[in-house]
């Protein structure tokens, strides 16, 4: 559970916060509020933007809510909005652009799930307070009416912001029954805001964890990604594990809590993984890196399956990186992550132990080239993951590992300058191979190209003439072996 920060800045006064939120868009929002009022309908700022304004957090969203049904909203904005769109209209949302500002208007509504359904059933409402009641948490159940900016907080969201606590507007069991994804959202807000989750909310999450299984993988994935990219992911992940939600959406994570006995000791893999995640985050340069964070969290998930008890109290996890890479691919695919994310994260998991074969610098230049080749565009992330994976409390060992990796990076930089490692191509391309061997396009060209790439990795840049000679030597060897130039001109 997240722990509230001590001596935290209190929430901004509501009127000042709303004024700041609307700075720049106030004329548009107030004019729109007046149009709705003239048409006999309500309009209010609502939800996350109000919460963030009160927390003095930047926000780009202007979310509005109204008692007018979507068809009526379209009538009210007709001729006033510069443009509008209806991509979410089945859920009661209409988007519009006015004077360079994008606004979204959602009709008061209530959502609930049939016990066997993965999709919410949407019903429209007529009361702002009832609309706020159906929202996930009290800190998101605040609004400001337009055009007068009257602050509406029927469920104590403002005091919750001051106390840094996540609490539901009504009974958490009712809230989670309406939308089970809110259980994961509680963990996500613990990560993003660093707030504590109220005990009754944690109890309901634990009792109702199995309900998360009716939610689509895509929605679960999105919440998990937001949680991981928050400022306090450890708190959110711990909440998922402790309530049993992780066992249903990311079961590999709680399984890292391996039993440790007095005869066979090894590090706490679960705690180690959370530390690696935090140490990887500390190296980020341009904001949250989802691929790096997923790789850091999942890099050791192959250990439970590969644990073996050895003589003398030793414990081994042979090939856990290979097993873990396959498990990572399977889990992220099940969560409907994009193919590039699945490929990149599983590749990092597969490579995360490669550096430990470097020893005290015994790698040849050929081995360094292969390290760079195998990492490809993931090299920078692999550097960060490898450094993050050092969690030993032995300062001398930690310093030695750091110095050794510093040395490896220096060697990579030197070879990169000398040999253009980023390109990492043979010195002859496919057309040149065909010309030298007098062959047409076919499998032999690919085999020759692959051979010259191995030569490039082993020996570095040898020059055009030497590459031609090596190609002819290899081709003659293929002829002798009966695998030669059957597709020659």
Q: What's the pLDDT tens digit per position in 91-132?
A: 899 999 998 889 999 999 865 666 666 566 678 888 999 999
Say if residues 186 and 205 touch (Cβ distance below 8 Å).
Answer: yes
Looking at residues 442-446, what average pLDDT do you find?
A: 87
Q: Which residues contact 465 (CB under 8 A, 6 or more apart)?
A: none
Residue 103's beta-bridge partner residues?
96
CATH topology of domain 1-164: Beta Polymerase; domain 2 (3.30.460)
pTM of the model: 0.81
- Where is pLDDT greater, at 66 or 412? 66
Q: Using alpha carbons, list the distances in angstroms from residue 157 to 143, 167, 246, 315, 364.
A: 10, 9, 28, 50, 61
What is the structure's pLDDT at 9?
A: 64
Task: With CA atoms as reference, report the closest residue to 289 among 393, 424, 381, 398.
Answer: 381
Average pLDDT of the chain is: 88
- Tell me: the pLDDT tens digits for 148-177? 899 999 999 999 999 999 999 999 999 999
Residues 6+ apart with CB under 8 A from 126: 67, 108
Please name which of 407, 410, 451 lies closest in space to residue 428, comparing C-alpha atoms: 451
**Element holding 34 (H helix, E strand):** helix 26-38
For CA atoms 183, 185, 186, 187, the dihedral sign is: positive
Q: Is the pLDDT of residue 218 over 50?
A: yes
Instruction: Report yes or no: 195 and 164 within 8 Å, Cβ to Cβ.
Output: yes
Lowest mean pLDDT among 210-214, 298-302, 332-336, 419-423: 419-423
Tell me how far apart the alpha carbons of residues 189 and 240 are, in angstroms, rounded to a whole number.
12
Q: Which of 404, 320, 412 is nearest to 357 (CA)?
A: 404
Q: Is the pLDDT of residue 262 over 60?
A: no
Q: Where are the chain's structural domains?
A: 1-164, 284-419, 430-480
Buried b (16+ CB within 10 A) or exposed e, 168-179: bbeebbebbbbb
């Amino acid at each position: 559970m997240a722990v509230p920060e001590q001596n935290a800045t209190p929430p901004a006064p509501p009127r000042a916060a709303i004024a700041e939120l609307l700075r720049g868009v106030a004329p548009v929002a107030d004019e729109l509020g007046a149009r709705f009022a003239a048409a006999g309908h309500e309009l209010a700022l609502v939800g996350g933007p109000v919460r963030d304004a009160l927390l003095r957090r930047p926000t780009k969203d202007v979310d509005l809510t109204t008692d007018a049904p979507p068809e009526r909203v379209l009538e009210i904005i007709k001729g006033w909005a510069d443009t509008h769109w209806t991509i979410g209209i089945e859920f009661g949302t209409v988007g519009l652009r006015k004077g360079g500002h994008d606004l979204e208007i959602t009709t008061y509504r209530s959502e609930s799930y049939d016990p066997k359904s993965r999709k919410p059933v949407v019903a429209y409402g007529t009361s702002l307070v009832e609309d706020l009641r159906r929202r996930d948490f009290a800190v998101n159940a605040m609004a400001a009416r337009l055009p007068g900016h009257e602050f509406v907080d029927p469920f104590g969201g403002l005091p919750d912001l001051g106390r840094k606590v996540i609490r539901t507007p009504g009974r958490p069991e009712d809230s989670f029954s309406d939308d089970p994804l809110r259980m994961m959202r509680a963990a996500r807000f613990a990560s993003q805001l660093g707030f504590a989750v109220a005990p009754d909310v944690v109890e309901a999450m634990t009792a109702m964890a199995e309900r998360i299984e009716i939610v689509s993988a895509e929605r679960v994935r999105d919440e998990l990604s937001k949680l991981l990219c928050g400022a306090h992911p450890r708190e959110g992940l711990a909440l998922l594990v402790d309530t049993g939600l992780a066992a249903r959406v990311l079961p590999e994570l709680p399984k890292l809590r391996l039993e440790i006995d007095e005869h066979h000791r090894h590090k706490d893999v679960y705690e180690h993984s959370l530390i690696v995640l935090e140490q990887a985050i500390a190296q980020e340069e341009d904001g949250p890196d989802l691929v790096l964070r997923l790789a850091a969290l999942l890099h050791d998930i192959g250990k439970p399956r590969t644990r073996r008890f050895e003589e003398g109290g030793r414990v081994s996890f042979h090939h856990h990186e290979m097993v873990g890479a396959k498990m990572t691919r399977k889990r992220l695919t099940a969560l409907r992550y994009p193919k590039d994310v699945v490929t990149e994260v599983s590749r990092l998991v597969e490579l995360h132990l490669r550096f430990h074969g470097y020893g005290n610098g015994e790698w040849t230049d050929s081995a360094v080239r292969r390290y760079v080749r195998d990492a490809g565009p993931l090299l920078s992330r692999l550097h960060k993951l490898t450094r993050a994976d050092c969690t030993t409390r032995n300062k001398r060992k930690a310093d030695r590992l750091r110095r050794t990796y510093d040395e490896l990076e220096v060697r990579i930089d030197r070879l990169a300058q000398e040999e253009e490692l980023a390109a990492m191509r043979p010195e002859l391309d496919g057309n040149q191979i065909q010309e030298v061997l007098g062959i047409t396009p076919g499998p032999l060209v690919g085999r020759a190209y692959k051979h010259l790439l191995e030569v490039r990795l082993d020996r570095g840049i040898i020059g055009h003439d030497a590459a031609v000679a090596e190609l002819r030597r290899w081709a003659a060897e293929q002829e002798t072996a009966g695998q030669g130039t059957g597709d020659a001109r």
